């Protein structure tokens, strides 16, 4: 089992990539601390893991923009499982898609807070515990849009937040490599999730055809890369923006 006895925090775990990751990680032996805003859906994922014999999961709903929530997830991991081996800081939003000049400051600030500031708060809470242990792995869900946007219109705030996440990841990786903590970013392409247009055939077809592979990813495919980065198989990987984008970055570069 790839994650046997590892305790991992997963945010955005109530649906999409986060939910797929939670189920995959549990099947691979992880103990899970699940976070998301939507408490009912989050508890359903935890129950599916616990009642289905997949593993052990605890859930705590909250706002990832809140520093005390980031701290509470870490505290829950320690209280329930005694250690924290990894974190998949996955929660995020696309936000309003319109030209930056037309975007209200409040809308801009919301995207930056949810996607970038929350990553800082998560790392700030997680790193001290991992440093004390002498080991750990942190993965942020960034995006190909923050790596090689290629002029996609209407995504200024999202692109800025995800590019900032990559910069933050690289700085943290440099700061903590000698502490035994690996820190990487996962950069998905278009993925079939509620946020990615699931249920809207026209949107899914349009986005699929942007990819050289002419399809979108299943959430589980993205989760597989996250699992690799959290597992011991990636023991010499840190500071990496890991593209899992069906060739989008090649097309847009």
Torsion of CA 154, 158, 160, 165, to 10 degrees: -160
Q: Catalytic residue among 15, 158, 173, 185, which?
A: 158
Answer for the pair 134, 114: CB distance below 8 angstroms, yes or no: no
* Residue matched to tokens 């990751």: 21
- Residue 14 CA neighbour count, 13 Å, CB half: 18
Residues in CB range of 54: below 8 A, 6 or more apart:
23, 26, 27, 48
**Tokens read off for 247:** 């060739």
Q: Are 91 and 18 in contact (CB under 8 A)?
A: yes
Residue with the two structure tokens 């014999």: 53
158 a catalytic residue: yes
Cite the active site residues. Answer: 158
């Amino acid at each position: 089992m790839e994650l046997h006895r590892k305790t991992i925090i997963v945010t955005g775990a109530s649906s999409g990539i986060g939910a797929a990751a939670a189920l995959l990680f549990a099947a691979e032996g992880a103990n899970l601390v699940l976070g998301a805003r939507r408490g009912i859906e989050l508890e359903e994922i935890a129950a599916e893991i616990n009642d289905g014999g997949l593993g052990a999961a605890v859930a705590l709903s909250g706002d990832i923009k809140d520093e005390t929530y980031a701290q509470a997830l870490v505290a829950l991991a320690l209280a329930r499982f005694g250690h924290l081996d990894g974190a998949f800081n996955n929660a995020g939003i696309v936000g309003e898609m319109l030209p930056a000049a037309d975007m209200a400051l409040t809308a801009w600030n919301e995207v930056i807070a949810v996607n970038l500031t929350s990553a800082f708060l998560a790392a700030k809470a997680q790193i001290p515990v991992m440093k004390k242990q002498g080991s750990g792995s942190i993965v942020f869900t960034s995006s190909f849009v923050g790596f090689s946007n290629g002029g996609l219109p209407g995504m200024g705030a999202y692109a800025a937040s995800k590019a900032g996440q990559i910069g933050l990841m690289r700085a943290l990786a440099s700061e903590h490599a000698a502490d035994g903590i690996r820190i990487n970013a996962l950069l998905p392409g278009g993925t079939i999730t509620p946020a990615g247009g699931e249920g809207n055939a026209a949107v899914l077809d349009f986005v699929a055809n942007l990819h050289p592979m002419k399809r979108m990813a299943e959430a589980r495919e993205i989760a597989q890369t996250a699992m690799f980065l959290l597992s011991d198989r990636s023991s010499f990987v840190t500071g990496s923006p890991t593209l899992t984008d069906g060739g989008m970055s090649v097309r847009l570069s």
